[in-house]
Amino acid sequence: MTMPKDSIDVTMHITLSGDVYLKSHRTQRRMIRQLVSNLEVALTRVQTGLQLKRIGSHRFELHVPAASLADVQKSVLGVFGISAIEIVEELEFTTIDDLAESVRGRVSDSVAGNTFAARVKRRGSHDWSSVDLARRIGDALFDVSAGVDLTDPAVEVVVTVLDDRAFLVTDRQKGAGGLPLGTQGTVLCLVSGGFDSVVAAWMLMSRGCPIDFVHFSLNCAQSDHALAVARELWGKWGHGTEPKVHLVEFQPVKDALFEHVDARMRQVALKVMMAEAASSIASAENITALVTGDALGQVSSQTLPHLVAVSNATSTPIFRPLLGLPKESIIDLARMVGTAELSARAQEVCDLSAGGPVATAASELSISNTVNRIPHHVLEDVVATRKTFDLRDWVPGQM
């Protein structure tokens, strides 16, 4: 009886990123434990009962029902610390000639009439090298092909040999790389709902930092939008984390800025007060750094003098991973991260200039004096009355 095609298990190999396996043995062990934990969370979301098996120093093997393969691939590709995932077929062999013939039997139809190249990776103790096997495979396939082309072949025949096991790689997808999420400390992201802040958060996540979020609400609909973008980011990339959200009602600060501050200085003053509020929340949560989507010169509050003033207004370090990127590159990254479509719907609710000119190079002293015109209790009150909740529990409209 023939088994249904979608009930057959497919073998997947998951290889660790160089950021993980090039570390010291002690650091590797810690990072791999975290990576496995994150992978198990990601896999459980789409398929229960899957078992990871360690093979070699930086590879895991997973047997996946064919019907679930696409979902499992998508989930695994969202786990940081993975270099690539490969779909493989195991090849039986005793000698190098057996192995070359086994490869021929699997790929001769796809190679027929095409140029090809044999790519071999080998690990273990054998009386032949990777080059030897590649040549034998080339010899075995030459008569059915249009010749060997090592530079730009129509078909690549990729074989991996691990000790006494050999695999034909039938599909390969690049992973997220980086460090496993949770191997560095948590950072607090000032999330707006646009392209920039979530991409900045993703970049810190790729270096192992779990992300908590703070959003300064100036418009209820935009707050829901910002949280939706944060949730999208977490759903795709936050496996193994439990992000908090701090929702701060910032309308009283906006009102105070209109009352006490000249229109030219309101934008940079708002930026400083958001940073101060975020710093206060980070301190209360034992978080040691903030992350923003600032890009140098993108808007008036992100000129060099103003960014320096914002940094100096808070004792909490501010990370700005997008600082040197043009907007086009940030949007390209947002597409890759998977948040661009949502972010494109963001509304501008932070323009306080009343349509007039705004300061672009105010001195630090001038900015400080401007912010000091706002009664201290205004900022203290909005921070004290913030709503804090688990992003995983959020649903649109509840805030």
Give me the CATH number covering residue 156.
3.30.2130.30
> Do both 81 and 124 map to the same domain?
yes
What are the structure tokens assigned to 21, written together? Answer: 């396996």
The total of other beta-carbon atoms located within 10 Å of residue 190's CB is 22
Alpha-carbon gap, residue 94 to 110, rounded angstroms? 25
The answer to whether residue 158 is domain-embedded is yes
311 contacts 318 by C-beta, under 8 angstroms:
yes
β-pair partners for 177: 82
> Do both 128 and 243 map to the same domain?
no
User: Where does a domain end: 177, 206, 239?
Assistant: 177
The answer to whether residue 182 is domain-embedded is no
The enclosing H or E element of 290 equals: strand 290-291
β-pair partners for 155: 116
Confidence (pLDDT) at 2: 39
> Do both 224 and 320 map to the same domain?
yes
The answer to whether residue 136 is domain-embedded is yes
β-pair partners for 156: 117
> Do both 195 and 166 map to the same domain?
no
User: Where does a domain end: 114, 146, 177?
Assistant: 177
> Do both 162 and 266 map to the same domain?
no
The answer to whether residue 337 is domain-embedded is yes
User: Where does a domain end: 156, 177, 198?
Assistant: 177
> Do both 170 and 191 map to the same domain?
no
β-pair partners for 217: 249
CA–CA distances in Å: residue 228 to residues 235, 282, 294, 394: 10, 22, 20, 9
The answer to whether residue 308 is domain-embedded is yes
What are the structure tokens assigned to 160, written together? Answer: 């991996």
> Do both 234 and 161 map to the same domain?
no
Confidence (pLDDT) at 1: 35
Structural domain span for residue 257: 187-393
> Do both 227 and 164 map to the same domain?
no
> Do both 51 and 105 map to the same domain?
yes
The CATH number of the domain holding residue 385 is 3.40.50.620
pTM assigned to the model: 0.91
> Do both 51 and 115 map to the same domain?
yes
> Do both 92 and 160 map to the same domain?
yes
> Do both 118 and 243 map to the same domain?
no
4 CB-near residues (< 8 Å, 6+ apart): none
Alpha-carbon gap, residue 352 to 226, rounded angstroms? 19
The answer to whether residue 92 is domain-embedded is yes
Nearest 5°: CA angle at 204, between 202 and 327?
A: 55
Alpha-carbon gap, residue 347 to 339, rounded angstroms? 15
The answer to whether residue 231 is domain-embedded is yes
The answer to whether residue 399 is domain-embedded is no
Mean pLDDT by 10 residues, the chain (399 residues): 58 96 92 96 90 90 94 96 97 95 96 97 94 97 96 97 95 96 98 94 98 89 88 96 96 94 92 97 98 94 94 96 97 96 79 74 93 95 96 80
Overall number of domains in the chain:
2
238 contacts 360 by C-beta, under 8 angstroms:
no
Alpha-carbon gap, residue 394 to 245, rounded angstroms? 9
Judged by DSSP in three states, 176 sits in: strand
Confidence (pLDDT) at 7: 55
Q: Give φ, ψ of 88 to 5 degrees.
A: -130, 155
Confidence (pLDDT) at 37: 96
Q: Give φ, ψ of 162 to 5 degrees.
A: -120, 100
